[in-house]
DNA sequence: TTGAAAGCGCTAACAC
DNA sequence: GTGTTAGCGCTTTCAA
């Protein structure tokens, strides 16, 4: 590949002049500039990013560490990050944490070693303090979906408690009382917060959450399927299911179909996350929107602002919004239907 | 961040020695090596990749250009690529083509400028010749899901024709005759090949494909939903629907549910791709497996082999496999059910 | 086994 | 406006 020197020689100018027309850092006589441009095209010159990074002390790269790139959730986050980064002329370097503390650390380290100008980090498995240590090596780091008090201004998270609360409220508003919680059997904060929101909403409605129906399992379609199948067979009085996330809710719908429930009248199902799965199932899922792509974009904006030393005030906290589709029915209908059949 | 010089000074050795222990390129006296290692840890030394790339003329980066990172299909491809790359100690640089020729070219150029050691390219919108030109700038490039005669040995693709053929055969084997094709209204090769496979299978069964039921629209859940809804209302004699992909098939199932069809008995639905959507819907989708993750991994392996100048013979062509789940019923059942209701 | 030194391709002063 | 030059942090001969 051609270098800046090749271009300079062929265009009869110095390398600085070439550098100037490439970067637009200073005015260059029109004639020379045109000549340089022409030679660049002839030689298919592409500046060497490594050399640039070394000399200029910035790489133009934005690192992102996520858990699993194939997961729709992370894929959407990545998309948001990529979109925003590209607009700023930056490239995205992706590394996978694979839901494992050691690999998460390795991922961050490798990104650090690449001297990304900024890092967007989604990490659940590394403890706060260790994460702080790691990130202290990085000029700019924004943490996504996690709130670390020491760097709260560089965190962006979703209000999971409000999500659980609002979702449950929606179910209660439709008249449901016998609401089951289909939870995740892993104590990450998302899960705990959503569950607390659920309990709060029940409590406010005068329902003792200790007596509520609950089942815990894997936060996957399959997990939701199995839990719901068991639950419904033993507790047919349940009229609504509040699932930890859309994946579980989707599994839940499948279980109900298999049990020949007529949906949504025989049983309502509510999810949280608002991922594409919810549009695919029948009935389409009533859920709570989790603006992942937005979060990704905001994270990049924040990182960029930090890089530019701007004290740009921006929300670092996203609120949930109920998305009404077809999987929740009002209790009245459900009861009528049940007594009629 | 600490540099190699810092480490050298503090460890009382030359930078060459540090370089040697970092890279293991030559034996270093045990005592010195330990000292260097210790200082490296103290200083949290991370080699600067840009400097390394510049001096060593290799970046350790693998570039991938895909269309839409949030699309489950590309996300899975990316995952395969990342997994394999990481095992080889390489990092993945992702760029998005956004289904647009110009942006695809920009994506490739930016990856080129980063001096990725190898490129994995998924591109549908750039014409063959132009793509060849672009890729000629790159030491190693592997093209995925596309067959370009000039570089056939560096292409990896899926046999879409066989996929359409096998899927349709499966439907025919269940006794279906009135099979509708739910196609994509865009002439990319995937679509055309699958459709030809469909026609071939019908032809072999003595059915004139010109008289077959067909509808074309967007290759999305929504597209499948709309097409199926219209089609079924006007052509109730259709007993099976062959969809271009799983997304359309999923939309199709939703339409049938809304029309109060009992699935799969009243109408069978078959997809192609075998993405996660198929596990979420009810009934779960009978489809044809498209081993994307495998393709991603194989692409990386091929790229790595090319980098190492190995003439590693490997398949560059993946064959489809039917995945039987719940969305296809045998015609007999369907007919019985129809006449009974 | 070790160190000195010459680049890799570029940016950013600094002179003119 | 333009050219000269000193690095950026590393790898890799080449001597010792």
Q: Which of B53, B115, B280 sits opposite A280 (nearest CB)?
A: B280
> Do residues A148 and A25 both lie within one domain?
yes
Our measurement of CA B5 to C1' C6, in angstroms, reads 17
Rounded to whole angstroms, the Cα distance separating B107 from B89 reads 23
Min Cα distance B66 → chain A (Å) is 11
In this predicted structure, what is the pLDDT of residue B341?
A: 41
- Is A258 part of the contact surface with chain B (CB cutoff 8 Å)? yes
B284: nearest CA in chain A? Answer: A254
Across the range A237-255, mean pLDDT stands at 96
**pLDDT of amino acid B340:** 42
Can you read off the two tokens belonging to residue B31? 């005592």
The residue among A84, B308, B256, A303 whose CA lies nearest residue B270 is B256
Angle between helices B15-23 and B30-43 (to 10 degrees): 90
| pTM of the predicted model as reported, rounded to 2 decimal places | 0.87
Nearest to A257 among B46, B78, B282 (CB): B282
The minimal CB distance from A82 to the residues B96, B112, B279 is found for B96
Mean pLDDT for the stretch of residues A153-180: 96
Cα gap B100→B91, rounded to integer Å: 25
Q: Is the CB of B257 under 7 A from strand D?
A: no
- The beta-carbon neighbor of B113 closest among A46, A54, A115 is A46
Is B257 within a domain? yes
Mean local confidence (pLDDT), A42-63: 93
Tell me the C-alpha distance between B134 and B114, whole Å: 14
Give the pLDDT score at B73.
Answer: 85
Residues B72, A276: C-beta atoms closer than 8 Å: yes
> So what's the pLDDT on residue A188?
83
The answer to whether the Cβ–Cβ distance between A69 and B54 falls below 8 Å is no
Is the same domain home to B58 and B117? yes
| CATH classification of the domain holding A266 | 3.40.50.2300
Token code pair at residue B241 = 């629907």
Is B41 within the bounds of a domain? no
Residue to mutate among B75, B138, B267, with most A CBs inside 10 A, is: B75
Residue A266's domain spans which residues? Answer: 160-286+324-339
Residue closest to sugar C1' of C2 by CA: B17
Do A20 and A134 fall within a single domain?
yes
Contact A94 B115 (CB under 8 A): no
Confidence of residue A333 (pLDDT cuts 50, 70, 90): low
- Please tell me the total count of domains within chain A: 2
Does residue A89 sit within a domain? yes
Cβ within 8 Å, pair A50-B221: no
For an interface test with B, give the residue of A69, A245, A248, A255 to mutate (most B CBs within 10 A): A69
Return the closest-CA partner of residue A252 out of A276, A217, A288.
Answer: A217
Cβ atoms of B23 and B55 closer than 8 Å: no
For residue A152, being part of any structural domain is answered with yes
Share of chain A above pLDDT 70, in %: 97
Nearest to A69 among B78, B258, B279 (CB): B78
Nearest to B140 by CA among B14, B307, B339, B322: B307
Is there a contact between B54 and A72 if contact means CB atoms under 8 Å apart? Answer: no
Q: Which nucleotide is nearest to B20 (CA to C1')?
A: D11
Nearest chain B Cα distance for residue A203, angstroms: 33
What is the pLDDT at residue A222?
A: 96
Task: With respect to residue B154, please indicate whether it lies within any of the assigned structural domains.
Answer: yes
Write out chain B's pLDDT in tens, 341 residues: 899 999 999 999 999 999 999 999 999 999 999 999 999 999 999 999 999 999 999 999 999 999 888 888 888 899 999 999 988 989 999 898 988 999 999 999 989 989 999 999 999 899 999 999 999 988 899 999 999 999 999 999 999 999 999 999 999 999 999 999 999 998 888 999 999 999 999 999 999 988 889 999 999 999 999 999 999 999 989 999 999 999 999 999 999 999 999 999 999 999 999 998 999 999 999 999 999 999 999 999 999 999 887 776 778 889 999 999 999 999 875 555 555 44
Measured in angstroms, the CA of A204 and the nearest CA of chain B are apart by 34
Which positions of strand C lie within 7 Å of protein CB atoms? 1-5, 7-13
Please name the residues between 150 and 189 in chain A that touch chain B, using a CB distance below 8 Å.
none
Asked if B71 and B202 sit in the same domain, the reply is no
- Number of A to B CB contacts under 8 A, please give it: 153
- Residue B212 is assigned to a structural domain of this protein: yes
- Element of type H or E holding B323: strand B321-323
Q: Give the model's pLDDT for residue A341.
A: 41
Interface contact B254-A284, CB threshold 8 A: yes
**Same domain? B187 vs B333:** yes
Report which residue is nearest nucleotide D5 when distances run from CA to C1'.
Answer: A16
pLDDT of residue B333: 59
Record: contact A71-B76, CB cut-off 8 A: no
Name the DSSP class of A158.
E
Q: Does B96 touch chain A (CB under 8 A)?
A: yes
- Residues 306-325 on B with a CB inside 8 Å of A are none
Give the Cα separation of A199 and B303 in Å (integer).
53
Q: Are residues B123 and B192 in the same domain?
A: no
User: A87, A297 in Cβ contact below 8 A?
Assistant: no
**Could you give the CA distance from residue B246 to residue B249 in angstroms, rounded to a whole number?**
5
At residue B37's C-alpha, the angle toward residues B35 and B42, to 5°, is 95
Q: Is the CB of B10 under 7 A from strand D?
A: no
Residue B11 lies in a domain: yes
> What's the CA B4/C1' D9 distance, rounded, in angstroms?
7
Distance B26 CA to D15 C1' (A): 17
Query: Position of tokens 């009002």?
Result: A330
pLDDT at A210 (0 to 100): 84
Residue nearest to nucleotide D3 (CA to C1'): A14
Using pLDDT thresholds of 50, 70 and 90, give the confidence band for residue A338.
low
Same domain, A304 and A335: no
pLDDT in tens, A190-214: 999 999 999 999 999 999 988 889 9
What Å value separates CA A53 and C1' C14? 22
* Whether residue A122 sits in one domain with residue A26: yes
> So what's the pLDDT on residue B102?
93
Distance A341 CA to C11 C1' (A): 79
In a domain, A94, yes or no: yes
Q: Which residues contact A205 (CB under 8 A, 6 or more apart)?
A: A172, A177
pLDDT at A233 > cutoff 80: yes
pLDDT of A336: 53
Is B168 in the same domain as B301?
Answer: no
| A69 in B contact zone (CB under 8 Å) | yes
Per-position b or e across A255-270, b if 16+ CB within 10 A of its CB: bbbeeebebbbbbbbb
Half-sphere exposure of B90 (CA within 13 A, CB side): 26
Please give the residue of chain A at the shortest CA–CA distance from B50: A50
Asked if residue B72 and residue B130 are part of one domain, the reply reads yes
* Structure-block tokens of residue B299: 């692409």
Instruction: Show residues of chain A in contact with B276, CB under 8 Å.
Output: 72, 221, 277
Sign of the Cα pseudo-torsion (B221, B147, B131, A47, in order): positive
CA quadruple A68, A219, A299, A115: dihedral sign:
negative
What was the pLDDT predicted at A300? 95
Cβ of A7 near strand D (distance < 7 A): no
- Is any atom of strand D within 7 angstroms of residue A113's beta carbon? no
> A265 and A301 share a domain?
no
Distance A14 CA to C16 C1' (A): 14
D7 C1' closest Cα residue: A55
Q: Are residues A146 and A215 in the same domain?
A: no
């Amino acid at each position: 590949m051609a270098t800046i020197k090749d271009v300079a020689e062929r265009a009869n100018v110095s390398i600085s002049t070439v550098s100037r027309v490439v970067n637009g850092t200073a005015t260059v006589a029109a004639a020379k500039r045109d000549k340089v441009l022409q030679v660049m095209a002839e030689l298919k010159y592409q500046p060497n990013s490594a050399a640039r990074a070394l000399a200029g002390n910035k790489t133009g790269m934005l690192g992102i560490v996520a858990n699993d790139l194939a997961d729709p959730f992370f894929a959407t986050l990545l998309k948001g990050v990529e979109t925003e980064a590209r607009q700023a002329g930056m490239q995205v370097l992706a590394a996978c944490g694979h839901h494992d503390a050691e690999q998460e650390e390795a991922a961050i380290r490798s990104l650090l070693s690449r001297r990304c100008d900024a890092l967007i980090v989604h990490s659940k498995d590394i403890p706060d303090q260790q994460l702080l240590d790691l990130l202290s090596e990085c000029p700019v780091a924004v943490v996504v979906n996690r709130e670390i008090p020491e760097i709260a201004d560089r965190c962006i998270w979703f209000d999971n408690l409000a999500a659980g609360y609002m979702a449950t409220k929606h179910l209660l508003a439709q008249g449901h009382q016998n609401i089951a919680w289909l939870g995740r059997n892993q104590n990450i904060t998302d899960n705990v917060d959503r569950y607390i929101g659920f309990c709060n909403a029940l409590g406010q409605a005068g329902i003792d959450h200790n007596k509520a129906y609950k089942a815990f399992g894997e936060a996957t379609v399959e997990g939701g399927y199995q839990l719901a199948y068991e639950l419904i067979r033993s507790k047919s009085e349940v009229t609504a299911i509040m699932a930890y996330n859309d994946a579980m809710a989707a599994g839940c719908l499948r279980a109900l179909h298999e049990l020949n429930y007529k949906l949504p009248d025989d049983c309502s199902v509510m999810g949280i996350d608002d991922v594409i799965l919810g549009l695919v199932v029948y009935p389409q899922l009533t859920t709570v929107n989790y603006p992942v792509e937005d979060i990704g974009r905001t994270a990049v904006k924040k990182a960029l602002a930090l890089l530019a030393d701007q004290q740009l005030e921006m929300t670092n906290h996203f609120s949930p919004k109920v998305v009404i589709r077809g999987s929740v029915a009002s209790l009245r209908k459900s009861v009528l239907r049940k007594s009629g059949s």
